[in-house]
Amino acid sequence: MSVLAAFGFVFIIASFQAVSGPAYAIYGIRPDFIILSIVTIGILLPPPAIYASAFFAGALLDALSPGVAGPHMTGFLLSALLMVRGRRMGIGATAKGKALLVSAGILAASAAPQTARWILEGPELDSALVIAATFAYTTLFAYPFFRVLGPAICWAAPRRNDYGIIRGRASWPGLG
């Protein structure tokens, strides 16, 4: 259920970014709301939903953006990996840890496509500026985004304590 909720959440946010993204542009730099959806999912949902939503968002952006396929998916999967590893190590247990994980996820997801463009198309002087500006502008929206949409994600994908056969372990006696 959490994977379907994550897909729906990413799709809604991608639609929002396509429609209202230009309204938030400052000097050509826009906040990346899809990255925010991935890091919000990374804080709230279990690892399968994080990886699946990162794959879905990366495939969606790579299919819709011009150029080489793969940089967005690489960035989102790297961001998801950082979020899952950080949560597994216990970094995301406190508010400061969550802020650190969100910052690392945003930085990884915004740096990977720019780095791929730099490698494939040649070095440009403004690549670092674009990465830093996108990171800073997206980070400004992280806390309001989490506070507004976090409860909606938790409502759409309630936590389960039982493990069924679909999650990898038999739930009936004798087969566990």
Determine, yes or no, domain membership for 111.
yes
State the CATH number of the domain containing residue 62: 1.10.1760.20
> How many domains does one find in the chain?
1
- Which structure tokens are listed for 43? 């804080």
Q: At what angle do helices 47-64 and 2-20 cross, to 10 degrees?
A: 30
Asked if residue 171 lies in contact with residue 165, where contact means CB atoms within 8 angstroms, the answer is yes
- What range does the domain containing 80 cover? 2-167
Determine, yes or no, domain membership for 85.
yes
Determine, yes or no, domain membership for 174.
no
Q: At what angle do helices 95-121 and 33-44 cross, to 10 degrees?
A: 140
Determine, yes or no, domain membership for 57.
yes
Determine, yes or no, domain membership for 175.
no
Determine, yes or no, domain membership for 176.
no
Span 105-119, pLDDT tens digits: 999 988 888 888 788
User: What is the Cα–Cα distance from 152 to 161, expressed in whole angstroms?
Assistant: 20
Q: Which amino acid is present at 130?
A: V
Asked if residue 94 lies in contact with residue 60, where contact means CB atoms within 8 angstroms, the answer is no
Determine, yes or no, domain membership for 39.
yes
Determine, yes or no, domain membership for 81.
yes
Highest mean pLDDT among 102-106, 111-115, 143-147, 152-156: 102-106
User: What is the Cα–Cα distance from 105 to 75, expressed in whole angstroms?
Assistant: 9
- Which residue is listed with tokens 């793969």? 70
**pLDDT at residue number 161:** 56
**pLDDT at residue number 78:** 93
